[in-house]
Amino acid sequence: MAAAALARGGFGLGRPGWRAKADIVRTVFVARIKIIARYKGAIFMESLIPIVFAAMPVLLGTTVAAQQGEDPGAVFCDTLLRASPTCTTNYKLYMLIGAATFSVVSLMLWLIGYWVRREQETGTLESLYLAPARRFWVLAGVTAYAFVRAMIAFVLAILLGSLLFQVNPFERGIPLALLFLAIGFLPLWGLSFLFGAFILKIKEADSVIQVLQWVLAFLMGVFYPITLLPPLLRATAGLFPPTVVTDGVRASLLDIDFFYGSVYGSLAVLFAMAIVMPLLGYQAFGFTERRLKRREGVGQY
């Protein structure tokens, strides 16, 4: 209690400056990296999972089209043409991008959700609240680590998957695809905060993460163009930042239409999400924290 009062008071004149705040982010980031470095196979497995994920619809789609004596690429292109003026026959790369982007979203949610849950279970979350550091900087360190780990998995998955599926992701649109990923990090960050708040409140991390990642996969159109969804679901899907990121990366690399009509439209929507989501997420996290502190405390699990 004394420590909490001291921390609230900002340690008299000793408020942490920018250098100290950056140091918190760095320390948390390095600590998480050190922990994951102990599990050598984890990163490799995380890169393989999107490839397996992409392989399943590719194999399924190939059979479906072949049964009708059609070329899978041509049928896939026809499906895209039903809702937009451009299409691609490169369905393998389409699936690979979807699965790799999904792995980024999924990893971010798992890593943040599990971090909160682990700290709760091991009893260190309360101690963290007594430390003279704002949660924002601690969370920034954790999310930065989650993003770096997710991006390593993304890049490895795209590279290995491209070799396996014999597709070339480097033909066009790399800078634009990277721009979508970079801007997309901010709304994902906000989404992770929202998610962390939710875990803090309801505690059942495993089930919530699992179901939410499939909801996202469904709405993101990991295995299919979201134009196949009924109108209401399609509109809802368009409001999810991961959908816009996946669509943006796909449209950049495959030269197909953007969900919001043009590259500017999709970038503008993603920019808006990049501003709104982190604010919303952090507010929700702060609100949940305050409520929990007033009631049962953050350590209860």
Partner 1 sequence: MSKKKIVEFSRYPIAFLALFVQIFLIIAMFLFASLAFTPEGTPASEQRALGAVVVYGFIIGLFLSFTLWEIGFSIREEQTRGTLESLYLSPASKVSSLVARVFAILLWSGGLSVVAILFVGGVVGGLPVANAGLALVVLLFSISGFLGIGFMFAGVTIKLKETAQLLVNGLQFFFFIFSAQFFPFAALRQVHPGIVDGVSKWLPVSYSVDVFRSLLIGAAEPELGLGWGIEILIVVAFGLVSPVVGYLIYKRLEASARREGTLGEY
Contact residues toward partner 1 (CB under 8 A) are: 39, 41-42, 45, 48-49, 52, 55-57, 59-68, 70, 72, 75-76, 78-79, 91, 202, 204, 206-208, 210-211, 214-215, 217-218, 222-225, 228-229
CB of 251 to partner 1, least distance (A): 16
For partner 1, the closer of residues 94 and 285 by Cβ is: 94
CB of 120 to partner 1, least distance (A): 14
For partner 1, the closer of residues 86 and 262 by Cβ is: 86
Contact residues for 66 (Cβ-Cβ < 8 A; gap 6+): 72
For partner 1, the closer of residues 136 and 224 by Cβ is: 224
Q: CA triplet 46, 43, 36: central angle to 5 degrees?
A: 125
CB of 5 to partner 1, least distance (A): 35
Q: Are the beta carbons of 202 and 212 closer than 8 angstroms? A: no
CB of 79 to partner 1, least distance (A): 5
What crossing angle do the helices spanning 205-220 and 241-254 adopt, rounded to 10°?
40
For partner 1, the closer of residues 25 and 199 by Cβ is: 199
Q: What are phi and psi of 133, to 5 degrees?
A: -130, 140
Secondary structure of 174-219 in the HEC alphabet?
HHHHHHHHHHHHHHHHHHHHHHHHHHHHHCCHHHHHHHHHHHHHHH
- Is residue 238 exposed (0-12), middle (13-18) or buried (19+ Cβ within 10 Å)? middle
CB of 175 to partner 1, least distance (A): 28
